Amino acid sequence: MESILFLIIFPLLTGVALLFVRNDSIRRIIVRTAAFLLIIASILISVRYFDSGLELSLHKEWINYGMVAIELALAVLLIAISIKHKKYLPILLVIIQTTIINWYEFSYSHEVEIHADIVIDRFSLIMILITGVIGSLICVYALKYMEDYHHHHHEIKDRRNLFFFLLFVFLSAMFGIVLSNNLLWMYFFWEITTICSFLLIGYTRQDIAVKNSFKALIMNLFGGFGFAAAIMYLGYVVEIQELNKLPALAQSGIELLIPAVLLAIAGLSKSAQMPFSGWLLGAMVAPTPSSALLHSSTMVKAGVYLLIRIAPTLGYNVAGILVMMVGGITFFLASLMAITKSDGKKVLAYSTISNLGLIVACAGIGSYESIWAGILLIIFHAIAKSLMFLSVGTVEHSMGSRDIEDMHGLIIKLPAMALMMVIGIAGMFLAPFGMLISKWAALKAFIDSDNILIVLILVFGSASTLFYWTKWLGKLVAVLNKYERIPAKLTFDEWVSMGTHALLTVVVCFIFPMIGNHFIEPYLNTQFAQHLGSVISDGNIKIMSLMLGMVLLIPLGLIVFVTLKEDRIVTSYMGGVNRGDNRYFTDSKGQAKHLYLSNWYMEKYFNEARLSTIGNITTSAVIIVIFFMALGGVL
């Protein structure tokens, strides 16, 4: 038990210690040590409970009352901050959900029997490893990044002690979410992630940061209200309060439509699905480490984690249609909007929303195959997307820009960073890297479930995904001129973090059959109470392994190109007389013209505002219609 509680308590204590540390050297020692210990603890716990799992009951009233006290204190904090900034909707939402959860806690929860407050199974172990390894590496990367950030932004008050406090509290809360089987406990940690994201997004205290932080707060409080209402319904009507009991109850025929819809809304808001996606886009104003943490190993993963957990339940009612449609629409429209962006972080934001939409759609199907694909998507997305965020942040500090157009020829300017980004991009879209394997499995699951509409959405959404990743990759490796090498001012911490991310991106692609056989399938066999076998055949695995070996030649070839080959740039025809540098030419009138190659962003066809409006209206309509269908079924 002590090892389990270590994952929750240790990062919390580390965060508290960092809150009072302002010396860079001491902070560096604490963060490095804490990150190392969390990574080791995550691995050891995964090994220890791999075969046996764990169901732990802690019948201690003081724990529940302590959580209630902290929830009330945090509610007072949010109300005070909202009053200060004259934001009144968050106050209303805080009061409503705090009233609901406390009424239930004191009036009825003690009558519901809890068999296991904490449960560890193979899916929990996957999430523990993602949070412990990827989350800790992000914290290490943040050490030098935040130092450089404040060096370049003197107008922003240096509050790194608060920043690192929030990062580690975030990790503590995420561990709490994936370990909690008691829904009241999960709700407690769920709300802590909401508050941490609110404070991280508003870190700079600039007007746009404050505005976007309250947008995130409102949308996630709305989801928190759904979570609180679901807990009250499950406890009062169904008389259960444990997450792992929902699939079995659904399979036995017990009506769970209302709580399924409410929990689905909570998961959709946390995972930034339309119409809630605006908060994640607004989070881009935060420093890059917090963006990486929010979008890869925590926050949004909490939302899809909950949806995957209840996915077998969704397959038995129209709540599954709600989740499937919202996820599918979000996946398709967000991938189209990513095409129109040249800002690297915005592309990553829309890509995150899009890929989360695919995971959500898999959860909505609720079949063995779709959940298998969804979990694999979570793993690959967490690693590759975190690598991309960290790489973009480093490139921005080195070049003063994160615009993709400015990354032209990055393979010459910053070869090491270009290699990191090539690996990250390959992990996101290039066959047979992880995301493509997962999308192939998702497509098969959608076809087998006869959801033709979702199949079409997946096909066209994947095509647009291919388009914007290819554009970015082309910019990195295109060499037309003799570019000057830019010194990469990377510290040991940054190299360790990004290098480990890159290594994991490749390694996980090699071992995905083991992940499927030893982590995902045993978990699904318990969820569906039967052994359903492997989703991908041995023959396909061999073909993908061979392709992966061939694909690895790409980064190796880039290394050879950069380090061994001499520059031999051939002048090209540009509609006039080339001046010898492939940048300027003389036209027929003797005038000097500048040549610039740019990607096509197709803003005219995939207008962001128009697509956002369509997506928000459509998904809102789906949510409202199915919510009232659920109410109509019980009234």
Phi/psi-derived region of residue 409, left when phi > 0, alpha when psi is between -120 and 50, beta in every other case: left
Is 490's pLDDT higher than 70? yes
* Residue 589: predicted pLDDT: 72
Residue-wise pLDDT tens digits, 123-159: 999 999 999 999 999 999 999 889 888 888 888 898 9
* Token digits of residue 247: 């699939």
Quote the longest CA-to-CA distance of the chain. Answer: 89
What does 315-381 look like in DSSP terms, one character per residue?
TTSTHHHHHHHHHHHHHHHHHHHHHT--BHHHHHHHHHHHHHHHHHHHHHH--HHHHHHHHHHHHHH
Higher pLDDT, 427 or 16: 16
The dihedral formed by the CA atoms of 403, 405, 299 and 198, expressed in degrees to the nearest 10: 20
pLDDT tens, 511-560?
877 888 889 888 988 888 666 666 665 555 565 555 555 555 655 665 56
C-alpha to C-alpha distance for 632 and 226, rounded to whole angstroms: 18
pLDDT beyond 50 at 635: no
pLDDT tens per residue across span 444-456: 888 887 778 888 8
pLDDT in tens, 194-246: 999 999 999 999 999 999 999 999 999 999 999 999 999 998 888 899 999 98
Nearest to 360 by CA among 400, 408, 322, 316: 322
pLDDT band at residue 582 under the 50/70/90 scheme: low
**Confidence tier at 581 by pLDDT (50, 70, 90):** low
With CA atoms as reference, report the closest residue to 121 among 261, 253, 308. Answer: 308
Exposure string of 107-144, with b = 16+ CB inside 10 Å and e = fewer, is eebeebebebbbbbbbbbbbbbbbbbbbbbbbbbbbbb
Residue 293 has pLDDT above 70, yes or no: yes
Could you identify the residue written with the tokens 């393979």?
411
* Beta bridge partner(s), residue 584: 594
Q: How far apart are CA 254 and CA 250, in angstroms?
A: 5
Averaged pLDDT, 50-54: 89
* C-alpha span between 264 and 269 (Å, rounded): 9
pLDDT of residue 7: 94
As to burial, measured by CB atoms within 10 angstroms (0-12 exposed, 13-18 middle, 19+ buried), residue 387 is buried
Encoded amino acid at 230, one letter: A
Q: In the chain, where are the structural domains located?
A: 1-33, 87-144+172-569+600-634
Looking at residue 229, what is its pLDDT? Answer: 94
pLDDT for 56-98, tens place per residue?
Answer: 888 777 888 889 899 999 999 999 999 999 999 999 999 999 9
What CA–CA distance (Å, rounded) separates 565 from 122? 47
What is the layout of strands, in order, in the sheet containing 584-586? 577-578, 584-586, 592-594
pLDDT, mean of residues 469-494? 77
Give percent of the chain with pLDDT exceeding 70.
87
For the four alpha carbons of 272, 274, 276 and 281, in that order, the dihedral sign comes to: positive
DSSP label at residue 585: E
Q: What is the pLDDT of residue 81?
A: 95
* pLDDT tens-place string over residues 338-390: 999 988 889 999 999 999 999 999 999 988 888 998 998 899 888 888 899 89
State the pLDDT at residue 269.
Answer: 94
Q: Helix, strand or coil for residue 59?
A: coil
Residue type, 560: V
Distance of CA 84 to the CA centre of its chain: 31
Average pLDDT score over the chain: 85
Q: How is residue 552 annotated by DSSP? A: T
Residue-by-residue DSSP string for 392-436: HHHHHHHHS--BGGGGTTHHHHSHHHHHHHHHHHHHHHSTTSHHH
579 pLDDT above the threshold of 50: yes
At residue 130, the 3 state secondary structure works out as helix
Output the CA–CA distances (angstroms, integers) from residue 568 to 140, 411, 461, in the order listed.
39, 15, 39
Q: What is the pLDDT of residue 559?
A: 58
- Give SS3 for 630: helix
Q: Which of 400, 469, 411 is nearest to 436 (CA)?
A: 469
Distance, CA of 552 to CA of 455 (rounded, Å): 30
